[in-house]
Amino acid sequence: MTTTLTTTTTTTTIAPATRLERRLRARYGPWAVVTGASDGIGREFARTLAAAGLHLVLVARRGEVLAALAEELGRAHGIRTRVLALDLAQPSEVAELGVATSDLDVGLLVAAAGFGTSGRFVDAALDAELAMIDVNCRAVAALAYAFGRRFAQRGRGGLVLMSSLLAFQGVPRAANYAATKAYVQSLAEGLRLELAPDGVDVVASAPGPIHSGFAARAAMTMGKAQTPAAVARATLAALGRRGTVRPGWLSKVLEGSLSMLPRRGRVRMLARVMRGMTAGDA
């Protein structure tokens, strides 16, 4: 594990905070933890929170990428950062995250780390499928437990858990990935009501297709897709106001069209979609 604490003072003029940025800082500051911060949605969550003035703990496997992001955000927004190069597929390193942030007044966890695979489950490498469960489910549960307890004792805080449009039914050719996101969706729904009396907000973010490193790792071809920045901002705007958010027009359109079908029909429809997105996957 690599831990770096960096304090910087910006030399640029910082724009006045928006209403969302002021609310995030007041409700969840002074520190936030963002997992999966080296790429995609996680990186955009970090940028949005830095613009709000929250100090950040940036977590991912690639420490050098995180260090560059930390320097960028520190210079642009005058925040402090802590870089933790951790592999959340390893339970010991998930536990290390709690230890490495125990001295900070953390009020927000964004659990954006995760990955997917595509193709027939029985043709996949079992190690990769089990590692996906470790990152997408086991690590999320452990972090929600650890930080949920901290926030409840603190009397306020927020948990952002990344669900998916695929979480609401089985999805052929992404069967295991969809199952991991169904777990996250259900966990977030339950925790929202459990932790509300303690002043802790929980939101499940269920976007549709996104332009990010996820698609490349899952060997999927994306056509129309949302930007990670749009997903991050819409999710943070919903935190404390809704239990589930479907960021962006595309996600809402897809969910609207699927919701008119029975569950079996949704499974069949998404089977066709996945065949098109994974056409090159034998």
Mean pLDDT of the chain: 87
Which of the four pLDDT bands, split at 50, 70 and 90, describes residue 41?
very high
Number of domains composing the chain: 1
Which of the four pLDDT bands, split at 50, 70 and 90, describes residue 262?
confident
Which of the four pLDDT bands, split at 50, 70 and 90, describes residue 225?
low
The pLDDT value given to residue 11? 45
Write out the chain in H/E/C secondary structure. CCEEEEECCCCCCCCCCCHHHHHHHHHHCCEEEEECCCCHHHHHHHHHHHHCCCEEEEEECCHHHHHHHHHHHHHHHCCEEEEEECCCCCHHHHHHHHHHCCCCCEEEEEECCCCCCCCCHHHCCHHHHHHHHHHHHHHHHHHHHHHHHHHHHHCCEEEEEECCHHHHCCCCCCHHHHHHHHHHHHHHHHHHHHHHHHCEEEEEECCCCECCHHHHHCCCCCCCCECHHHHHHHHHHHCCCCCEECCHHHHHHHHHHHHCCCHHHHHHHHHHHHHHHCCCCC
Q: Which residues are catalytic?
A: 177, 181
**pTM of the complete model:** 0.86
Q: Does some domain include residue 75?
A: yes
CB 108 within 8 A of CB 158: yes
230 or 265, which is more confident:
230
207-229 average pLDDT score? 62
Residue-wise pLDDT tens digits, 136-185 = 999 999 999 999 999 999 999 999 999 998 999 999 999 999 999 999 99
33-62 average pLDDT score? 97
Q: Does some domain include residue 266?
A: yes
Which of the four pLDDT bands, split at 50, 70 and 90, describes residue 208?
confident
The pLDDT value given to residue 17? 76
Q: Does some domain include residue 231?
A: yes
Q: What is the CATH number of the domain that holds 181?
A: 3.40.50.720
Q: Does some domain include residue 114?
A: yes
The pLDDT value given to residue 10? 44
Q: Does some domain include residue 29?
A: yes
Q: Does some domain include residue 178?
A: yes
Cα 96 to Cα 155: distance, rounded to the nearest angstrom? 24
The pLDDT value given to residue 228? 93
Which of the four pLDDT bands, split at 50, 70 and 90, describes residue 221?
very low
Domain interval for residue 130: 3-277
Residue-wise pLDDT tens digits, 60-101 = 999 999 999 999 999 999 999 999 999 999 999 999 999 999
Q: Does some domain include residue 171?
A: yes
The pLDDT value given to residue 278? 59
Q: Does some domain include residue 137?
A: yes
The pLDDT value given to residue 261? 74
